[in-house]
Amino acid sequence: MNTPQASSASYYAAAYQRLSPLLPGGGLGWLTQARRAALARFARHGFPTQRDEDWKYTSLAAIAAARYDLWPAACVDPLAGVVSQRALAGAHLLVFVNGRLHPGLSRPGDLPPGVRLNSLAYCLEEQPASVDPLLLLGAAAAAFADLNLAFMADGAYLHLAADCHLAAPIQLLFIASQANLAIQQRNVLWAAAGSSACIIEQHVALGEGSYLTNALSNVVLEAGASIEHYLLQQESPAASHIATIDVRQQANSSYSSASFAFGAHLARTGITVALQGEAARCSLDGLYLTAGRQHVDHHTCIDHRQAGGTSRQLYKGVLSGASRAVFNGRVVVHPDAQRSDAEQSNRNLLLSDKAEIDTKPQLEIWADDVKCSHAATVAQLDEEQVFYLRSRGIEQAKARTMLSRAFAREMIDRVACSPLQEALDEALREKLRVMSC
């Protein structure tokens, strides 16, 4: 049988045979077993197709057909310039090049006691006892999570001890420079009771190569912990970026995430939040700007499992060219999750007549004492506003850019971390310039 599924499964199986001695944590029986099980699951199910409800609007044909390299070559590109340009003032910086920690470029700085920030490969090799198997294996089984588990080699491992507050942000800078590489990156963010931190995850590229980033983050917030998690995706225009974020929250914890998707040819961000403790709060923001033939897909799922949880979602998109955006937001309120409060909103601006948006906000409510709402809008720029600006002597293209920027700025204004805000504003300007051409 030579179907794409069978052949991609055999390709990955052969690659695993070859690479397994190199993968970190080879001495950990549970990990090797889990890697093999994940690979077997992938062989059975393959990549999802558009017949799967979760992938109805996003085709993975290109990823399924590609034969990515699964191990990076040594990077010879000069990177210091890129790093100094992107490094945020005062942040604890870890730099990953093609999915591997680059110690020479990283500047973790002085971390207060109680904060452990390492590379995952280091933890698996040197401190295997500190790695909780349940944490790494917890994410829902799905094609990309399985591939990630089978091949994950590195990423950031953050552990915050109880009541430890990290004032400066942690910046994780992922640089991709090698074409045709599949980067299987895994981050662990673990905040013990009462701790707090701000994490900025940034994906950038050298050059315009086609590669795949398959990033998976396991985020755990114990009681009363608080995490701000920013995702800034500026991958190369030919790249595919698949991000899976699995968040588990205990009582009174607070997780807020903001995703800024500017790059990649195909980008998909899936965030699953389980509010497992009472009165947990989560807030997911997102901004996507698409041009050319870009395809950006956001899937969120918030599981209100316990009483008194609050969730907020606001996703905004600006689409130009023949680009396409997908938003699928799902809120589930379980029978015991009384007094849940969920709000979800998706607002889209279509700038061209070839762009397409498919949005699907969903509510599944199994409890009665709840307050849930969702809203979705799709519209173009208000011609009256454009006319007003033009009557002030501003040319058409500029007026449209100004109004698009005003629409998108709201998401940047909501960012609490000010050095990041500036970087985002710069990225937004640059992206809008590309989009108006």
Query: Under the rule (CB under 8 A), what is the footprint of another protein?
Result: 53, 335, 338, 348, 350-353, 355-380
The minimum distance between CB 360 and another protein, in angstroms, equals: 5
Nearer of residues 110 and 383 to another protein, judged by Cβ: 383
Least distance in angstroms from the C-beta of 325 to another protein: 10
Using only C-alpha atoms, what is the Rg of the chain?
Answer: 21
Cβ of residue 43: shortest distance to another protein, in angstroms?
25
Alpha-carbon distances, residue 3 vs 8, 54, 64 (angstroms) = 9, 22, 11
Shortest separation between residue 380's beta carbon and another protein, angstroms: 4
Compute the least distance from the CB of residue 372 to another protein, in Å: 4
By beta-carbon proximity to another protein, the closer residue of 270 and 329 is 329
CB of 346 to another protein, least distance (A): 9
Asked whether the beta carbons of 300 and 329 are under 8 A apart, the reply is yes
Nearer Cβ to another protein, position 54 or 422? 54
Dist. CA 148–CA 159, nearest whole Å: 21
Q: Which residues contact 346 (CB under 8 A, 6 or more apart)?
A: 313, 315, 316, 317, 327, 329, 359, 361, 374, 375, 376, 377
Nearer to another protein, 106 or 348 (CB): 348
- For 59, counting Cβ atoms within 10 Å of its Cβ (0-12 exposed, 13-18 middle, 19+ buried), the class is middle
* Token digits of residue 209: 């190569």
Taking the complex as a whole, the smallest distance from the CB of residue 365 to another protein amounts, in Å, to 5
- Please state the closest distance from residue 394 (CB atom) to another protein, in A: 21
Q: Which is nearer to another protein, 240 or 359 (CB)?
A: 359
Sign of the Cα pseudo-torsion (79, 80, 85, 88, in order) = positive
Q: Which is nearer to another protein, 110 or 384 (CB)?
A: 384
Q: Which is nearer to another protein, 368 or 384 (CB)?
A: 368
| Residue among 286, 120, 86 at smallest CA distance from 216 | 120
Q: Which of 219, 53, 210, 63 is nearest to 147 (CA)?
A: 63
Our CA dihedral for 61, 65, 67, 70, rounded to 10 degrees, sits at 30
C-alpha angle with apex 286: 152 to 225, nearest 5 degrees? Answer: 65
Residue closer to another protein (CB basis): 37 or 378: 378
Which helix (H) or strand (E) covers residue 324, if one does? strand 324-333
